[in-house]
Amino acid sequence: MPVYDALKVADPAVYKSLMGEMERQKDGVEMIASENYVSPAVLETMGSVFNNKYSEGYPGKRYYGGQEFTDAVESLAIERAKALFHAGHANVQPHAGAPANVALYFALLEPGDTVMGMDLSHGGHLTHGHPVTYISKIFRFVRYKMKDASTGALDYDEMRAVALKEKPKIILAGFSAYPRELNYAKMKEIADEVGAYTVADMAHIAGLIAGKALRNPFDDGFDIITTTTHKTLRGPRGGMILSREFDLGAKIDKMVFPGFQGGPIMQMVAAKAVAFGEALKPEFAEYAAQVVRNSKHLAHYFMERGVSLVTNGTDNHLMLIDCMSSWNMPGGEVEHLLDEIGITLNKNMIANDTRKPMDPSGVRLGTPAVTTRGMKEKDMETLADFMLKAIEVRSDPSAIQSLRKEVIAFCRAFPVPGIPS
């Protein structure tokens, strides 16, 4: 358990914010699909003396001396990552998921080359080529979408037609707001036909893949997986690039360092090693399975009560609610209202949304963090009831305050790892 006595004396202002955040997490429900809690062991490692050490290079090939223990922990992280995902090579140095994606592009592409990825409005990610990003000025991006938002089905025939026309060098699977499982085998078949690399950005579902609750793209012949190391993987904030075969590793390593970033953040690399070790244990597989069970149960419970879900359900850890169709409320209003009772989720664009990104029609929510706290299917019903009740009584401040107290009492039965109850 971290002790903050020195911080309390040295910087009371930061200490106050830290204590406030601990209380918020303890007395609230975290349902943002990309957030989770780390174990006390991971939390301790993130604040360790590895922060003090520069380690430019890779194990056995550093530009600074004194690397005995940094080499040991990075090698542990690499070997554990390879074991988790059945990879031939792993680079654990990327500082986050976005830098991992960008480094990967530069490792495999030349400026002007084409990448095919999921459209942001249909669940993709900014780093998959949205025009607002700088990377879109260097590489050319074409997109695929759902053919039917009521089921989430992708149009693989259209994907093939676009691939044959545009000749992408990478076909990218992955998403930040898509509740269904992708057909990796079909995407691999299309990529082979046009001579493209297959890359899976598994940032959201890496933990579910590691825990064998969802399919591993490598099993269908994908070349590369990029991912964050937090979210469902329950590690520190960071990124990682995995390749199925060892031979792509040299290109990736060279582009991560020295091509794109400087030295690794060693306390985070060490914390990744700890998290990967936790994910290799049998109890992590049960956690991953429970995340999916909770998510499916919550989605079903909502739909039984007339809530409109994009794709009418989920295969993974997240779901999207069409708030305008469900309650004639924009997503931002729902987000703010639920914040008032202590349930945190995020406003989100939905497929074919006619509203603006900062005022979208939907919200995104997920079950990784609540599952880490030990909640099961019946608890998902309680959470849904809290949310639906808040929407029902939204014009009554006293009723909202009463709900807030109920949420706090509910949370006390489910301690947050690393936070005193």
Assign residue 241 the CATH number of its domain.
3.40.640.10
Per-residue pLDDT band for 300 (boundaries 50, 70, 90) equals very high
Specify if 311 maps to a domain: yes
Residue ending a domain, choose from 230, 246, 279: 279
Q: What is the pLDDT of residues 8-36, one digit of tens each?
A: 999 999 999 999 999 999 999 999 999 99
The pLDDT value given to residue 421: 78
CA distance 57 to 63: 6
Per-residue pLDDT band for 93 (boundaries 50, 70, 90) equals very high
Per-residue pLDDT band for 229 (boundaries 50, 70, 90) equals very high
Residues 302 and 245 in one domain: no
The separation between the first and the last C-alpha atoms of the chain, rounded to the nearest angstrom, is 12
- The CATH number assigned to the domain holding 326 equals 3.90.1150.10
Catalytic one among 30, 201, 278, 379? 201
Residues 258 and 305 in one domain: no
Is 143 an annotated catalytic residue? no
The whole-model pTM stands at: 0.95
Is 178 an annotated catalytic residue? no
Is 45 an annotated catalytic residue? no
- Beta carbons of 29 and 345 less than 8 angstroms apart: no
The pLDDT value given to residue 123: 63
Q: How many domains does the chain have?
A: 2
Residue 268: domain span: 44-279
Catalytic one among 228, 229, 232, 372? 228
Determine what percent of the chain is predicted with pLDDT higher than 90: 87
Is 228 an annotated catalytic residue? yes
Residue ending a domain, choose from 279, 310, 340: 279
- Indicate the average pLDDT of the chain: 95
Specify if 38 maps to a domain: no
Specify if 149 maps to a domain: yes
User: In 206-357, which residue ranges form alpha helices assigned H by DSSP?
Assistant: 206-210, 249-254, 266-279, 282-304, 323-327, 331-341
Question: Three-state DSSP class for 172?
Answer: strand
Is 347 an annotated catalytic residue? no
Look at residue 128 and tell me whether its pLDDT is greater than 80.
no
Sequence-ordered list of residues with C-beta below 8 angstroms from that of 262, at least 6 positions apart, any chain? 56
Per DSSP bridges, beta strands 170-174 and 114-118 are parallel
Catalytic one among 8, 147, 186, 237? 237
Burial class (CB in 10 A: 0-12, 13-18, 19+), 232: buried
The pLDDT value given to residue 1: 59
Two structure tokens written together for 37: 């809690």
Q: What average pLDDT score do residues 376-390 get?
A: 98
Closest listed residue to residue 346, CA positions, set 337, 358, 336, 335: 335
DSSP summary character for residue 260: I
CA angle, 322 as apex, 123 and 294 as ends, to 5°?
Answer: 75
Two structure tokens written together for 314: 């989920």
Catalytic one among 26, 35, 54, 147? 54
CA distance 169 to 139: 10
Residues 62 and 199 in one domain: yes
Catalytic one among 27, 35, 56, 71? 56
Per DSSP bridges, beta strands 29-30 and 343-344 are parallel
Which contiguous run of DSSP H or E holds residue 192? helix 184-194
Q: What average pLDDT score do residues 77-100 get?
A: 97
Catalytic one among 80, 169, 188, 231? 231
Question: Three-state DSSP class for 247?
Answer: helix
CA dihedral of 313, 348, 136, 155, whole degrees rounded to 10: 20
Is 56 an annotated catalytic residue? yes
Q: What is the pLDDT of residues 156-198, one digit of tens each?
A: 999 999 999 999 999 999 887 889 999 999 999 999 999 999 9
